[in-house]
């Protein structure tokens, strides 16, 4: 395993980013269970406090520019309290969070070449809340050091795929947009895995979010696919959502075992012709048990899945954000997520990240077109 330890130097310039060619909830359910019954919606639209002049015409979308990882909370991001990514503490101040995050991002970049981090928020973790004011340091550290940030909202511990409180949802997003709306490196994903809504009802909510915040450029918005973000074709075809990025999630545990070709077909069917708009911003597999994700002849379903996922990202000019770098569920291991890219050691800002599997890095580089 490779070890990376970073002590940042004030004012150090970041290396040039290679040009582009360019939660997840683990359930042992089949993809068919992702479909839900349409339900009535309330308070879909309102007059946002952040409403301003309409945003400028967006530039052409380039999903392949997003090459990154998720930074999650131990145990996953579905919580009724503050969402605190691994390595941070609710007791940390803004300055401490920012300093810790800078060390973490430095190692994300130096070890795998990441340029994007996806961060969770919830009703206890946005600017104006006690933890949210400190947690803002994680966003600011990223953008100040050249990272893109995808901010995504997780619901509470009930995790029923629905917004817990629409008024609070809008208040939260107004505060987030007010804080980072002018920062071109910050992107907004209104809801993670909206599986409690039908495809049409979810598209209505996403369209209302956009309409209520005309100051936000469309190319700064990530619209989740319906269900568990598992299919982007419906939202891609909705003209109200034109110009936005699309978020796709697919995991091996959601399906029966498949051949490599069947995995490719599964991805293709859920992407359609929307690849240039789509970021696979959650996908992952076990990394702590020696699997070789470079093995083209593997009989392991996880290996076939990862190879199909990364080949699909590359062939469709998509972006890819691995789940998770840190944090995540402790279902299979008591102290960490066996999908997690890194083990973390140390305290304060003296943090060391250790890669759990080298072959997954090769596959990420392949997906990102930064490797063979």
Q: Over the range 341-367, which residues count as b (16 or more CB within 10 Å of their CB) and which as e?
A: bbbbeeeebebebbbbbebbbbbbbbb
**Residue for token pair 């091996």:** 252
Rg (CA), the chain: 19
Cβ atoms 15, 145 nearer than 8 A: no
Q: Quick: pLDDT tens for 101-160.
A: 999 999 999 999 999 999 999 999 999 999 999 999 999 999 999 999 999 999 999 889
Nearest partner of 24 among 247, 304, 221, 306, judged by Cα: 247
- Report residue 324: phi and psi, to 5°: -100, 165
Cβ atoms 99, 347 nearer than 8 A: no
Q: Quick: pLDDT tens for 213-223.
A: 999 999 999 99
pLDDT in the model for residue 263: 98
Could you tell me the two tokens for 327?
């944090």
pLDDT in the model for residue 55: 54
Q: What is the DSSP letter of 308?
A: H
pLDDT in the model for residue 254: 96
Which are the contacts of 21, defined by CB distance < 8 A and separation ≥ 6? 64, 314, 317, 369
CB atoms within 10 A of CB 320: 28
Q: The whole model's pTM is what?
A: 0.86
Give the separation between CA 146 and CA 197, rounded to whole angstroms. Answer: 35
pLDDT in the model for residue 258: 98
Could you tell me the two tokens for 35?
């479909």
CB atoms within 10 A of CB 328: 28
Give the separation between CA 336 and CA 317, rounded to whole angstroms. Answer: 32
Q: Which residues of the chain have pLDDT under 70?
A: 1-59, 371-372
Give the separation between CA 188 and CA 216, rounded to whole angstroms. Answer: 9
Nearest partner of 249 among 281, 284, 221, 206, judged by Cα: 281
Q: In sequence order, what DSSP letters do the residues of 231-282 get, joined into one string?
A: B-HHHHT-GGGTT-EEEEE--GGGS----HHHHHHHHHHHHTT-GGGEEEEE
Q: Do the bridges between strand 186-189 and strand 222-224 make them parallel or antiparallel, or are there none, so unpaired?
A: unpaired
- Report residue 149: phi and psi, to 5°: -125, 125
Strand order in the sheet with 342-347: 3-5, 350-355, 342-347
Cβ atoms 246, 277 nearer than 8 A: yes
CB atoms within 10 A of CB 153: 24
Cβ atoms 238, 244 nearer than 8 A: no
Cβ atoms 125, 83 nearer than 8 A: yes
pLDDT in the model for residue 370: 86
């Amino acid at each position: 395993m490779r070890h990376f330890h970073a002590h940042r130097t004030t004012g150090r310039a970041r290396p040039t980013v290679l040009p582009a060619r360019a939660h997840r909830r683990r359930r042992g359910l089949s993809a068919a269970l992702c479909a839900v019954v349409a339900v009535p919606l309330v308070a879909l639209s309102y007059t946002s406090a952040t409403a301003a002049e309409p945003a400028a015409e967006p530039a052409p979308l380039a999903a392949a520019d997003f090459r990154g990882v998720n930074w999650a909370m131990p145990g996953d991001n579905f919580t009724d309290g503050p969402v605190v990514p691994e390595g941070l503490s609710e007791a940390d101040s803004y300055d401490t969070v920012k300093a810790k995050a800078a060390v973490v991002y430095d190692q994300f970049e130096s070890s795998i070449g990441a340029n994007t981090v996806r961060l969770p928020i919830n009703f206890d973790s946005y600017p104006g809340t006690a933890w949210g004011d400190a947690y803002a340091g994680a966003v600011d550290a990223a953008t100040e050091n050249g990272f893109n940030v995808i901010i995504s909202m997780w619901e509470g511990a009930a995790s029923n795929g629905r917004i817990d409180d629409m008024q609070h949802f809008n208040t939260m997003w107004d505060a987030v947009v007010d804080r980072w709306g002018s920062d071109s490196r910050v992107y907004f994903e209104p809801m993670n895995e909206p599986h409690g809504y039908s495809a049409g009802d979810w598209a209505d909510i996403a369209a209302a979010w956009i309409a209520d915040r005309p100051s936000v450029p469309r190319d700064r918005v990530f619209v989740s696919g319906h269900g568990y973000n598992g299919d982007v074709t419906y939202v891609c075809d909705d003209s109200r959502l034109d110009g936005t990025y699309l978020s796709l999630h697919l995991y091996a545990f959601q399906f029966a075992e498949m051949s490599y070709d069947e995995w490719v077909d599964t991805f293709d069917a859920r992407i359609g012709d929307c690849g240039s708009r789509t970021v696979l911003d959650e996908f992952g597999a076990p990394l702590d048990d020696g699997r070789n994700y470079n093995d083209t002849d593997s009989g392991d379903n996880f290996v076939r899945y990862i190879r199909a996922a990364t080949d699909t990202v590359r062939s469709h000019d998509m972006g890819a954000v691995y789940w998770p770098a840190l944090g995540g569920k402790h279902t299979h291991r008591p102290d960490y997520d066996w999908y997690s890219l890194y083990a973390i050691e140390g305290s304060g800002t003296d943090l060391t990240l250790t890669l759990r599997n080298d072959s997954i890095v090769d596959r990420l580089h392949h997906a990102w077109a930064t490797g063979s």
